Structure 1
Amino acid sequence: MADFLDAPKVSAAFIEIIKSAEEQIFIVSPYISLAPHNKKYLQSIDDKKVPIDIVYRSDTNPKPEDLTFFKQLQSAQLYKCNDLHAKCYINELFGIITSMNLYEHSQSNNWEMGVWFSRETDPDLYIQTLEEVERILQASSPENNNQTAVAVTANQRTYKPRKPIRTISPKLKVPPKKRLFEKVVDSVLGEAAYCIRCGATIDYNPEKPYCPKCFASWARFNNPDYKEKVCHKCGTKHTTTKIRPVCNDCYKTYYR
């Protein structure tokens, strides 16, 4: 389900979108003025060679130092769009539609709001938003390094996706059916398992592999691919995610 965000949560969600991106980031903001910490996060993603497409309003004038910063990023591409008013930030996992520009004053002073959505839990909203972002980019003109943006004709497509958005990992298959005795024992004692974040003992449920406290923390950003550190089934230290909450050995043993 999509979640409402107030101003502080919009800023936090934008940072999380940058930090969690592994395939692509789209930044749609009419006005741009980068805070120092935003530059640091964007630089860290560029170091990982994650493509960053930024589109801003063609009749605005970002600070020269911000334009210089973007043009120094190896994996970033700038675009200008006439009459742009939409604000949206999205990666391959989730995104936000918001009133907030990527503008330092807006992040610190304005009364903003937004809506957070996930590709896994809100697929229709995610796909429709991504398609609209690509329409905006197709109607935009690229601003290449040290060059002026070229005018776009009606039939000219200037934007081409540089990397396909990956598909969400498939859910775990259903484990083998248990015998009657095992079902009776589990119905009385419950099947012990472990929270994939803190390791606390919980009931086994690969669809809900968090304890209540850790689930509340995870649900703030709802990133199904966020890396955790405990196997839900055996409790050993192992890199897991909500989509794949068990270690490789348990997956081979308990899942077909």
Structure 2
Amino acid sequence: MADFLDAPGVSAAFIEIIKNAEEQIFIASPYISLTPHNKKYLQSIDDKKVPIDIVYRSDTNPKQEDLVFLKQLQSAQLYKCNDLHAKCYINEKFGVITSMNLYEHSQSNNWEMGVRFFRETDPDLYTQTLEEVERILQASSPESNDQTAAAVTASQRTYEPRKPTRTISPKLKAPPKKGLFEKVVDSVLGETAYCIRCGKTIDYNPEKPYCPKCFASWARFNNPDYKEKVCHKCGAKYATTKTRPVCNDCYKTYYR
């Protein structure tokens, strides 16, 4: 459930977003001025090769030492956005919408507040926020750095979501073991299965084990190993993933 944060709470939540990220981090802040702690945590997550997308307002001037630090992060990409006023920090688990910039003075001196929300308990708020952050990134242009051969203008494509390349396990592509009667029934009625996230009844397809709504949510990060809750084949509560969408019993029963 979403909860209210005061200024110290926002600062602490930002650190938790960095520390707990495993797949992706988005940072939208018009003004940037990093504290030593900010740098330490960003460096630690960069060492784990977690992608970090940072967008700031194009008519602001971050300190040169901060720009140098951010550009040397191997997994980070900086973007500039015209008229950016929103402040949002989010990873694949939870996020914060706040009045606070990622700015040292703001974190130490200003009256600030924010709301923290979670993908698990606030799925609609989480999805809508993430979609808006990606729209902001789509409207932004990348910050050039010393390795950039030519300046990239705002009219050129800027942001592409970073997605893993792994696919479903080849073992699950084999058709289920079924008798003639079961195959006839399936051919007439269609084969019933379950969304591995919400449990809603859907057509059986181990390559697409989500209902449309849950697939849209999953596709934000496209992590094939993200832990889900339901067996695609039998609907039982079980820790599944897109890579392995069925429980052990169904795997042993239906697959070679």
Give the TM-score range, shorter chain.
Answer: 0.5 to 0.7
Q: Which runs of 5+ in 1 are unaligned?
A: 174-205, 207-242, 245-250
Residue 238 of structure 1 aligns with which residue?
none
Residue 67 of structure 2 aligns with which residue?
67
Residue 206 of structure 2 aligns with which residue?
none
**Cα pair distance change 1:149/1:133, threshold 3 Å:** farther
Residue 24 of structure 2 aligns with which residue?
24
Deviation at 1:29, TM superposition (A): 0.2
Deviation at 1:143, TM superposition (A): 1.1
Residue 127 of structure 1 aligns with which residue?
127
TM-score if structure 2 supplies the norm length? 0.65
Query: Does the CA-based 8 Å contact 2:29-2:88 persist in structure 1?
Result: yes
Residue 214 of structure 1 aligns with which residue?
none
Q: Which runs of 5+ in 2 are unaligned?
A: 164-219, 232-236, 241-246, 250-256
| SS across alignment from 2:10 | helix
Aligned length: 178
Deviation at 1:17, TM superposition (A): 0.2
Q: AA paired with 2:3? A: D
Paired residues for 1:32-43 under 5 Å: 32-43=32-43
Q: Aligned-pair RMSD on alpha carbons? A: 2.3
**Cα pair distance change 1:149/1:33, threshold 3 Å:** farther
Query: Does the CA-based 8 Å contact 2:94-2:119 persist in structure 1?
Result: yes
Paired residues for 1:13-162 under 5 Å: 13-146=13-146, 147=148, 150-153=152-155, 156-162=156-162
| SS across alignment from 2:125 | helix
Deviation at 1:134, TM superposition (A): 0.5
Deviation at 1:157, TM superposition (A): 2.9
Per-residue displacement from partner, 1:182-226 (whole Å, max 9, x unpaired)? xxxxxxxxxxxxxxxxxxxxxxxx9xxxxxxxxxxxxxxxxxxxx
**Cα pair distance change 1:170/1:107, threshold 3 Å:** same
Deviation at 1:62, TM superposition (A): 0.2
| SS across alignment from 1:170 | coil
Query: Does the CA-based 8 Å contact 1:29-1:87 persist in structure 2?
Result: yes
Deviation at 1:113, TM superposition (A): 0.3
Query: Does the CA-based 8 Å contact 1:77-1:144 persist in structure 2?
Result: no
Deviation at 1:158, TM superposition (A): 1.4
Query: Does the CA-based 8 Å contact 1:80-1:149 persist in structure 2?
Result: no
Q: AA paired with 1:28? A: A
Per-residue displacement from partner, 1:86-137 (whole Å, max 9, x unpaired)? 0000001110000000000000111000000011111111111111001000
**Cα pair distance change 1:102/1:14, threshold 3 Å:** same
Distance 2:129 2:151 in 1: 25
Q: AA paired with 2:13? A: A
| SS across alignment from 1:22 | coil
